[in-house]
Amino acid sequence: MDTEYIISSCPSTLKVFPAIFCIFLGLFSLQLYFRNTSKAITYWIFFGTIPSLVWNSNRLSEWFSEVFGLLGKDSFYLDGPVFPKLRYLVTCHPQNIEYILKTNFNNFPKGEDFREVFDILGDGIFNADSDRWRLQRKMAHAGFASREFKTLVSNTSQKVVEEQLVPFLAHVAEQGFSVDFQNVCSRIAFDITVSVIFGRYENYLSIELPSHELAEAGDDAQEAILYRHTQPKFLWKLMRMIGIGTEKKLKKAHKSAQKFIEDYITQKRNDLLAGVTTYDLLSTYIKALEDETSVVSSLPKKDIFLRDEMINFWVAGRDTITSGLTWFFWLVSKTPAVETKILEELKLVSSSSNREQETGCTDKWPCIFDTEDLKGLVYLHAAFCESLRLYPPLPFNRKSVVEKDQLPDGSKVTPGLEIILSFYSVGRMPWIWGEDCLEFKPERWIAENGKLITEPTSKYFPFNIGPRTCVGKDISFTQMKSVAAAVLFNFHVEVVKGHHVCVKPYVNLHMKNGLKVNIKKRSM
Ligand code: HEM
């Protein structure tokens, strides 16, 4: 074919080419449509499953569970628009999850997409992969495992519960008005988290229900990040470039959070220079970064690292504890048999002879439990394991793929595909947890000898598993048990009749309408 011919036939080529392209696109989409459409999930011509994804974006966790249930299997693909190509594998298959998070961990990093969506976490541990992550993990592990830090966690939880939570609830009980318990949990989680990370008491839970710029920045950021999860990348990037909508809100929230944390860091440096001894995470990190023998001393841009790491810890702690507590109280309030057993256990601990001598707890109101008491609360611990199974604060995790691989259930994964691990759905499949999987049964976690069962970890992922297991798992139980023991023993929490509980579209699993409750004082 000579050049002259090509030029002379150009106008008709220009007409024919789009037509050929459209026919190809149509055939390809039809093939996709006929191959995949089922009752469980609709594949649309040209758009794949993206319309279904967008349609269900405000109830992703529930939608995934419905699709798994209808398909009767633990994995399915979500195909994006034909052009550009987007593909997800959604799975709740326990062996797949174990393979991705543990057995072949190195093949499934967080990846670039994760970092883009969560860019506000900067250089922090959640966004890190490979060697950089290993270094940060080592550092975090050392901080969380220290005896002094664990003591600080117990003391601060007890202090915040005694000085803020109990007086606040006593006030609500006296006034007789109803209160949004999710808001109470969010405020107490904020105060507890800020106290262990920054060594500060912000009194965000107090009778006046004050506003707090850092807490509000966190809420705004969550909303915008969820939007990024459910919209095509080009759309939110365009919004970010122009500075409109949720992206505008996110930018403001990010700046505000950074400024707040930078101020905390400056004040902490001054305290340390003045010789104040503290064991909160911020102090530990400042000291380590200044110590030339420390593993993190070689890190570049130390100030940015310090700020971003603290933002990561704060985000990691606050919203998970809020979610863990709120769903727990709701489940307990609607399961009186469980509440009775928790109270019996608390009564036993509160009236143990040693304790009575030390605190005289049975005679006085309110009764606050300390770390030693909490260790003995097996049934309460089991109740938390069970509520986290049904309502994991982080309902899913995302992973990318480095090399072509096949998962234990036979699903094929290739680079470019994103894998969504649906922790929420794992706890809700009858073939994984039994026909009674939707029932709240702490007994699932207690062996015949009365000890806690740890075996179901092969199908239990609320804290992740493998090398990236949550570093805050132990402190979470201390904090949540400390709050739950004090609240249940001293108050009766009753959900307002007719209040509708449903899941909020958020990165963390929160309640859309909050949790409206009435509080009454309880004397045991
Ligand atoms: C009920 C409470 C909690 C739950 C259910 C929970 C759950 C999780 C999950 C699922 C992950 C993995 C996330 C991912 O890979 O993207 C994680 C990681 C992490 N969690 Fe938690 N978390 C809780 C509380 C906390 C607390 C209180 C802290 C600290 C203040 C904390 C600190 C972290 C950190 C630093 C990581 C990152 C670990 C890494 O990437 O190596 N978590 N958590």
For 388-435, the pLDDT digits (tens) are 999 999 999 999 999 999 999 999 999 999 999 999 999 999 999 999
CA-based torsion, 97, 84, 41, 513: positive or negative: positive
Q: Average pLDDT, stretch 330-343? A: 97
Q: Is residue 516 within a helix (H) or strand (E), and if so which, with residue range? A: strand 516-521
User: Which atom of ligand 1 is found nearest the CA of 480?
Assistant: 1
- What is the rounded (10 degree) CA torsion for 189, 208, 183, 362? 60
Are 71 and 37 in contact, with CB atoms under 8 Å apart? no
* Residue 475 CB less than 6 A away from ligand 1: yes
CB 378 within 8 A of CB 451: yes
Q: Note the maximum CA span of the chain.
A: 104
Q: How buried is 500 (Cβ within 10 angstroms: 0-12 exposed, 13-18 middle, 19+ buried)?
A: exposed
Contact 198, 264 (CB under 8 A): yes
Nearest residue to 394 via CA among 372, 424, 420, 436: 424
Distance from Cα 124 to the centre of ligand 1, integer Å: 13
Q: How far apart, in whole angstroms, are the C-alpha atoms of residue 147 and residue 143?
A: 9
Distance in angstroms between the alpha carbons of the first and the last residue of the chain:
95
Ligand 1 pocket check for 476: Cβ under 6 Å: yes
Q: Return the pLDDT at 3.
A: 37
- Of 508, 506, 59, the residue nearest 320 (C-alpha): 508
Q: Which of 100, 117, 320 to mutate to test the pocket of ligand 1 (most atoms within 8 A of CB)?
A: 320
In this structure, which amino acid lies at residue 235? L
Least trusted range by pLDDT, from 142-146, 168-172, 437-441: 142-146
Half-sphere exposure of 379 (CA within 13 A, CB side): 17
Atom of ligand 1 nearest to the CA of 197: 30
| Predicted pLDDT of residue 48 | 78
311 lines ligand 1 (CB under 6 A): no
pLDDT in tens, 227-279: 887 777 888 999 999 999 999 999 999 999 999 999 999 999 999 999 998 99
DSSP 500: P
Q: For residue 519, give the 3-state DSSP assignment.
A: strand
Beta partners for 44? Answer: 48
Is the CB of residue 366 below 6 angstroms from any atom belonging to ligand 1?
no
Interatomic CA distance for residues 244 and 222, integer angstroms: 16
Select from 25, 28, 29, 52 the least CA-distant residue to 39. Answer: 52
Q: Which contiguous run of DSSP H or E holds residue 38?
A: none
Atom index in ligand 1 nearest the CA of residue 128 equals 40
> In terms of pLDDT, which residue wins out, 265 or 56?
265
Instruction: Go through 377-386 and write b for each residue having 16 or more CB atoms within 10 A of its CB, e for each that does not.
Output: bbbbbbbbbb
- Separation between Cα atoms, residue 140 and residue 284, nearest integer Å: 10
pLDDT(320) > 90: yes
Residue whose CA is at the smallest distance from ligand 1 atom 43? 470
Whole-model pTM? 0.90
Whether the per-residue pLDDT at 37 is higher than 70: the answer is no
CA dist., res. 326 & res. 130, Å (int):
35
- Nearest ligand 1 atom to alpha carbon 196: 30
Residues 103-127, buried b or exposed e (16+ Cβ, 10 A)? Answer: eeeebbbbbeebbebbebbbbbbbb
The structure tokens listed for 484 are 């739950």
Residue 9 has pLDDT above 50, yes or no: no
Strands 75-79 and 405-406: unpaired
143 lines ligand 1 (CB under 6 A): no
Q: Which of 381, 470, 507 to mutate to test the pocket of ligand 1 (most atoms within 8 A of CB)?
A: 470
pLDDT at 8: 38
- pLDDT single digits (tens) 67-108: 999 999 999 998 876 655 678 999 999 999 999 999 999 999
Ligand 1: does its nearest atom lie under 6 Å from the Cβ of 471? yes
Percent of the chain with pLDDT over 70: 88
Whether the CB of 52 sits within 6 Å of ligand 1: no
Q: Kind and range of the H or E element at 491?
A: strand 491-495
**Tens of pLDDT along 168-214?**
999 999 999 999 999 999 999 999 999 999 999 999 999 999 999 99
Structure-token pair, residue 340: 């009775």
Please report the pLDDT score of residue 59 as a whole number: 87
Q: 324 in ligand 1 pocket by Cβ < 6 Å? A: yes
347 CA from centroid of ligand 1 (Å): 32
Q: Which atom of ligand 1 lies at the shortest distance from residue 393's CA?
A: 5
Radius of gyration for the alpha carbons in the chain, expressed in angstroms and rounded? 26
Task: Compute the distance between CA of residue 281 and CA of residue 149 in angstroms, rounded to an integer.
Answer: 8
Rounded Cα distance, 500 and 511, in Å = 10
CA of 68 relative to ligand 1 center, distance in Å? 26
121, two tokens: 């976490």
The average pLDDT across 473-500 equals 96
Residue 518: how many CB atoms within 10 A of its CB?
17
Helix (H) or strand (E) run with residue 426 in it: helix 423-426
C-alpha to C-alpha distance for 509 and 186, rounded to whole angstroms: 12
How many A from CA of 465 to the centre of ligand 1? 11
Residue nearest ligand 1's atom 7 by CA: 463
Question: Which residues are 90's β-sheet partners?
Answer: 76, 420
**Rounded to an integer, what distance in angstroms lies between the CA atom of residue 432 and that of residue 217?**
38
